[in-house]
């Protein structure tokens, strides 16, 4: 019997969201108090709506940092970790013939840029710890390298991604684009892949993850970063990306409803521009968490995203600390659909 694989969209009802908590041995050490405050803010919003899975070095310390929250909605799992980017080292969920399945792809630190020896073991350790549902399978996807932030799905067989990331050196360079497409379709039960050839953010060390640039909001809607400032270094690339998005068609042959998000104000640290982006939002049950950067553009981004998600509460989370390590809100979280946990 041929397998029927469904790769659910992020707005599919969720059982839990994973956060991998910062600690003093991670790159967050110089700003640990700041970043744990940000993680706690994200955690408090999640536990209001669904379960929260916290991967951490020590449960007692995280409880101290969280304070008074709904602990009956939190699962703790202690283990060694390198870093905190659960979107990229977390398991990726599909349904195989209706059965919950968690794919454990290779995570190699975004093309061997950073150590990932512990983070690459997180998903299989969670499985051994009994975190996942007794009905769920965990499938080892070695040797394929894939990060959750590099792919977007509409839940109906369409994948949105970037050539820059998936075809990059030190991930799956032994495969050409046609072979990559074949494997992705097989893994995720896809009908088609929309490849973006353009788009990047300065300071981004993921090789242009799609979740920093353009996101599905429903089957007909894509929110994306728009740059209208001709003096900005991103102008030409993001204009080209916008034109690509305009040329894409839905499965019914219609243009996508495109919702532009403002280009975040320039944030410089140690002489380097950081990849601040409003596209890095996180969809929860009944809400969307949106990165804020203490800018007038925060309100503009919130208003735009509310059009994309009229039935959900849009909640701003101050992510000025997260961006110091070149990531934002969506990057630190991985959702698991109903039935996985």
pLDDT in tens, 244-285: 999 999 999 999 999 999 999 999 999 999 999 999 999 999
Share of the chain above pLDDT 70, in %: 99
Average pLDDT, the chain: 96
Task: Tell me how many helices (H) and strands (E) the chain has.
Answer: 9, 19
Q: What is the pLDDT of residues 95-107, one digit of tens each?
A: 999 999 999 999 9
pLDDT at 2: 67
Q: What is the pLDDT of residues 144-169, one digit of tens each?
A: 999 999 999 999 999 999 999 998 98
Residue 173 structure tokens:
């360079």
Q: What is the pLDDT of residues 216-240, one digit of tens each?
A: 999 999 999 999 999 999 999 999 9
pLDDT at 330: 98
pLDDT at 164: 94
> Is 80 exceeded by the pLDDT of residue 118?
yes
* CA atoms of 13 and 83, how far apart (whole Å): 27
Alpha-carbon distances, residue 47 vs 50, 108, 329, 339 (angstroms): 5, 30, 16, 17
Q: Which residue has the tokens 């840029």?
A: 113
pTM to 2 decimal places: 0.97
pLDDT at 264: 97
Share of the chain above pLDDT 90, in %: 98
Q: How confident is the model at residue 126 (pLDDT cuts 50, 70, 90)?
A: very high
Beta strand residue intervals within 175-312, DSSP E: 192-196, 214-218, 221-226, 257-262, 268-269, 272-273, 282-284, 287-292
Residue 31 structure tokens:
């700003």
Q: How confident is the model at residue 215 (pLDDT cuts 50, 70, 90)?
A: very high
pLDDT at 3: 83
């Amino acid at each position: 019997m041929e397998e029927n694989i469904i790769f659910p969209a992020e707005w599919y009802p969720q059982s839990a969201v994973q956060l991998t908590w910062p600690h003093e041995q991670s790159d967050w050490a110089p700003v640990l108090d700041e970043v744990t405050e940000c993680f706690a803010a994200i955690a408090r919003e999640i536990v209001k709506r669904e379960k929260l899975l916290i991967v951490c070095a020590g449960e007692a310390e995280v409880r101290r940092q969280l304070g008074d929250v709904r602990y009956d909605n939190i699962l703790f799992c202690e283990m060694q970790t390198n870093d905190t980017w659960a979107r990229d080292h977390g398991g990726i969920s599909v349904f195989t013939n209706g059965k919950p399945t968690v794919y454990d792809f290779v995570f190699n630190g975004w093309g061997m840029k950073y150590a990932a020896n512990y983070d690459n073991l997180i998903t299989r350790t969670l499985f051994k710890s009994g975190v996942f549902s007794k009905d769920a399978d965990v499938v080892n996807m070695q040797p394929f390298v894939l990060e959750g932030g590099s792919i977007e799905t509409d839940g109906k067989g369409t994948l949105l991604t970037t050539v820059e990331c998936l075809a990059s050196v030190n991930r799956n360079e032994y495969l050409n684009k046609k072979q990559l497409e074949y494997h992705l379709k097989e893994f995720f039960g896809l009908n088609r892949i929309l490849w973006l050839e353009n788009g990047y953010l300065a300071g981004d060390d993921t090789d242009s993850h799609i979740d920093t640039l353009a996101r599905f909001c429903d089957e007909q809607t894509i929110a994306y970063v728009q740059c209208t400032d001709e003096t900005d270094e991103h102008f030409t690339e993001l204009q080209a990306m916008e034109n690509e998005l305009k040329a894409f068609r839905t499965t019914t042959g219609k243009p996508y409803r495109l919702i532009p998000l403002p280009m975040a104000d320039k944030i410089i640290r140690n002489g380097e521009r950081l990849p601040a982006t409003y596209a890095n939002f996180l969809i929860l049950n009944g809400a969307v968490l949106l990165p804020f950067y203490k800018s007038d553009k925060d309100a503009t981004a919130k208003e735009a995203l509310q059009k994309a998600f009229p039935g959900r509460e849009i909640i701003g989370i101050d992510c000025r600390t997260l961006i110091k390590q070149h990531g934002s809100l969506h990057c630190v979280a991985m959702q698991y659909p109903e039935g996985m946990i």
